[in-house]
Amino acid sequence: MTIYSIIIISTFIPLLIYAFLIYLSENIILKYVDKYSKYYSALPKHYLLIYTAGMASALQSFLPALSLALSENSKLGYYFLLYNVVLDYTIALGAFILAFNFGKGMLDSNVLSLIMISIIAHVIVLMFKEINFLFGSILYAIFIIISIFLFYKYWKRNENTTYITKSSFYEYFKAIVFSLEIALAISIIYVGGGILNNISNTLQQLDLSIPLIGYAMALVLFTLPDILYGHFAWFKNKDLNISMASISGEAIASFTIFTGILGMVYPIKFSNEDVIPIISSFLVLLISVMILYIASYKARIPKWVGILLISLGIAIGLINSITVLS
């Protein structure tokens, strides 16, 4: 029991350090995504935030997942993507609803509909028990179609905006600095994938399943930084728009283009141990999206919705734990 505890603690500390680095990297990326949306006002900001902030938020789980896929451990990488979305739509959103006042319009019902389309397409691909190059290409194509739809819809909504030009040497210098900082942030997240691969191998030697390892790592590495980012953004600017846009957009990006790329890099093959974790995850996710869809039409989202979402997120962890014990 002592050796077991030592191994758990020795793996938990590097995870916390990496989670902190992910939090810093996410701050850098989302900060410049927000600046981009302000400087280039000819582009529709609502669409731009959902598209760019969503992809930026999904990068925090995709880059380690890509590193794992290149090491032929694509299944764990898949669970990073899956639980990043599921836990953000349950625990992270539940925490936001409990902490802040969610008024009508905070959650876009049109975007929630597109998220449902992404989930359905993803589930159909999962029915074949493998995501290979072909199915990965299909998911990639679905992302392109959704992108075209989003661009067309939100461009018309903001078609009278004007483009702000900035041509001074200082602006070009700032752009170079921004690019270097973003490259550094992306590199930090990607390099950590090798560390996670070693940690997962250690945990698997303790007879822990890949779904349970993916859940625990996603909770520490991705969900906690998202919650911290949202709370700090609120206390600093009284603004949750970029946090909500990143959570909304990450589901679309994770379930289509990023899962598709993982499948194209190295096939993701599923076995019997994945049936209960995946089915329960998507049931919880569908319930969460439906609750949020209904709640988006109310004047204010009630606090009990936040409690319910957090409970659903915790239930996923319990299901994975029970599956391992059985």
Q: Is 105 left (phi over 0), alpha (psi -120 to 50) or beta?
A: left
Average pLDDT over residues 74-78: 89
pLDDT of 27 over the 50 cut = yes
CA atoms within 13 A on the CB side of 256: 24
The one-character DSSP state at 323 is H
More confident residue, 83 or 236: 83
- Give the pLDDT confidence score for residue 83 in this predicted structure: 94
Domains of the chain: 25-158+189-325 (1.20.1420.30)
Q: What's at 54, amino acid-wise?
A: G
- Give the pLDDT confidence score for residue 113 in this predicted structure: 79
3-state secondary structure of 132: coil
- Joined tokens for residue 302: 């009630």
pLDDT in tens, 95-135: 888 887 766 555 666 777 788 889 999 999 999 999 999 99
pTM: 0.83
Give the dihedral of Cα atoms 315, 316, 322, 325; nearest 10 deg.
-140
Highest mean pLDDT among 96-100, 174-178, 225-229, 271-275: 271-275
- What CA–CA distance (Å, rounded) separates 288 from 286? 5
